[in-house]
Structure 1
Amino acid sequence: MLQKVEPIDINKIILLLPHSYPFLLIDRIISMRNDVNGMHVKAIKNVTSSDSAIPVGSRLHTAFPAVLIIEALAQATVLLAKQVLGDTHSDAVYYFAAINRARFYHAVYPGDQLELDVSFIRKRGMIVQLAGVATVSGKRVCTAKFMCVRK
């Protein structure tokens, strides 16, 4: 079962996820743990001006696209799904079966540190349901529920 894991840097994340630059949207895994509240993974994405950004109002203000916030949460979801299904070292392929109840509350701008917190809800066979919350400085910017399946 999942135990508390020390922070994982980008070099190890590259080995865990099939993504590469510019599609890898997790910079560091802060923690993976199993406690009384269940299984969780906490990761960060440092948003920079070189990330895809969309203009907001004037050309001086750009926001990190909402679809990339969801993708960052989805990548953290795969990391936790691998832990839940006990498949951290294999080359099994994971697919998203659903992304539900995605809600966006605030914009994310270059210079922000996006904190991604994903928690396990339930497992049924090779299907895992998880919930994700993205925050910036403790302020909720996005929530969503995910279903992931291993093939």
Structure 2
Amino acid sequence: MHPDVAGNWALWSRIVGPSAQTRLQQLEERFPELTTAVLGTADGLHIASLGVDQDGGEQLAAMNGSLFGVARAEAEIIAGGTEPTLSAIVSLSIGENQMALLSFLLAPYGQLLLSVSASSSQLGTVIVHARSTAYELLTALGVTGSAT
């Protein structure tokens, strides 16, 4: 994350949050199986969420940062020490519930994590919706970035 953004996160999150929230609401409209969606930074700062209250969104953003960090460390070990890409997807399936955690880069915010959870939906569908929403976020926030 750019040092100016990190140093003024309270201000920047109020700027980015409403635009991100709009994209999450659009996701909810086109994907009725959605249960939660959370956008946060890789270090666990909450930007926007739906399907949970503010405290729940903050907790999930923090846990998503930890989950991605652990998955990335495991990927590095499996790859024999080769640095894995920052753009990746971590997925979970528990019964009827699916979750995809997508990582993408968005300058000047750095690495962002978008988690999308759904019930009674195939994991591939959840991943497709997470990817399309990440691209929409890249476009809506009007800065350069890359997603898987």
Higher helix share: 2
Higher strand share: 1
TM-score, structure 2 as length reference: 0.33
| Higher Cα radius of gyration | 1
